[in-house]
Amino acid sequence: MNIITSLQNRISRRLTETKSPCKMYKTIAAAEKVAEKVALDGAAYFDGKFQYKEKTLEDVQPMQYVIFYIEETDKYAVGFNMTELLTRKDTMGGYLGVIANQGHYTF
């Protein structure tokens, strides 16, 4: 499955229901800046060793993400890979909607 095409289609469908299905950015650079921060913060939130202060934020492996273009809005969106994050050895429990609540798509 092409995850980028899948995410583009999901957002395109949501655009028929709402003006703002997720946060979008005018440039790839703007999306990348936000994605890097959210990817690190999101990974730290679920990282048991970070939560128990057994490692620093610099040692946390950021979440995987993709940046993709939404033609209808002429903007870019970010999709975060929650599936990969939750399979990591040091992942501990938490609120699964933590990234979605910030307005980003997850897969």
Q: What is the pLDDT of residues 23-51, one digit of tens each?
A: 999 999 999 999 999 999 999 999 999 99
Any domain includes 71? yes
Q: What residues of the chain score a pLDDT lower than 70?
A: none
In a domain, 99, yes or no: yes
In 10 A of CB 15, how many CB atoms?
15
Residue 19 lies in a domain: no
Q: Is residue 18 part of a domain?
A: no
* 90 within a domain of the structure (yes/no): yes
pTM of the model: 0.88
Task: With respect to residue 64, please indicate whether it lies within any of the assigned structural domains.
Answer: yes
Query: Could you tell me if residue 89 is inside a domain?
Result: yes
Do residues 82 and 96 touch, judged by C-beta distance below 8 A? yes
Measured distance CA(32)–CA(28) in Å, rounded: 6
Residue 54 is part of which domain span?
3-9+24-106
Query: How many Å apart are CA 100 and CA 64, to the nearest integer?
Result: 15
- Structural domain total, the chain: 1
The pLDDT of residue 26 is 98
The verdict on residue 14 lying in a domain is: no
